Structure 1
């Protein structure tokens, strides 16, 4: 299994996968999804069944979580979203996507990878998965303007 660039051939399938996981991620339009990929430091997919989009501290984006982390850290890689089709969960797709990101980030001299995970509504499987990769919680949990509460996590690189 290898991580591939996100191309037009898989764009619709990955956008649908994103929106299937909208509670944990956020709903996007096709144009919004494409714009996220265009602005990404790292984006990739595995067989159209799992994808990741990540930014670094130089991204030309704005968003409640990204802005919050950018105010706290000068340099970072931030995982905006990762999703794996339910039928492919437990098969190593998420881990392989993260390993590809970590390899690139380390090569480029980044020292930390950041993400946020919903705690309300709860997402205990994501917390367990991220902890198994070496992520640890940072900051206090934070309520967002959309009513969700998130916990931020860091993985030292």
Structure 2
């Protein structure tokens, strides 16, 4: 079994949309306009390719986006620099293979060279104990709760500190070049939407 985590391709958006909307009540439904918005604007939008089949995906946003998610906005109001995991979906036939941890390891690698905090949320109503346990064992801690407007469902807002970021910031982002080394694994995905201005790199 060959597994690759890679950036989504435009022709795969319909497959990702179908996968999202078949995921169940803990994943909010999307439509074609919304999935296209993510393709144009998400800082991280990668799929798990298993033997040529899309087995899952993860989407994440940095700060300073115009994304209107109330949970994303919650973090914008409290953190200067962060990556927010909006959703992760693994197709049922591929669950139990550890793809969730592979995705989170990849997302952490993406985030820790750019920001000090990786964030997300999990539903508490209905309570998703599998997700709560997964995030707890991956180093996330609850930093707040809120009732999602329009859904009347309570969520737990989670954050994970990324200690590697301080080294990256002092050595590269605030170093002589002011940027990361030119390596493929450090590259930002190419988006078709307008570039998002970033605040100066800093702490919380």
Structure 2, unaligned stretches of length 5 or more?
163-204
Is 1:142 the counterpart of 2:167? The answer is no
1:85 to 77, 83, 91: 91
2:100 aligned to which of 56, 75, 94: 94
Structure 1 gap segments, 5+ residues each: none
Q: How does 1:115-126 map to 2 (within 5 A)?
A: 115-126=120-131
Instruction: Note the C-alpha offset of 1:93.
Output: 1.0
Give the conservation status (yes or no) of the 8 Å contact 1:117–1:127.
Answer: yes
Displacement, 1:22?
A: 4.8
Q: Do 2:17 and 2:32's aligned partners in 1 also have CA atoms closer than 8 Å?
A: yes
State the 4+ residue runs in structure 1 displaced beyond 4 angstroms.
none
Secondary structure of the corresponding residue to residue 121 of structure 1: coil
Q: Distance in 2 between matches of 1:97 and 1:134?
A: 15
Instruction: Give the alignment's Cα RMSD to 1 decimal.
Output: 1.3
- Which residue of 38, 52, 60 corresponds with 2:66? 60
Deviation string, structure 1 residues 100-153 (Cα, Å, up to 9, x no partner): 111121222x111000100001111111111121111112x2111211110011
Corresponding residue SS for 2:124: strand
How many pairs does the alignment contain? Answer: 155
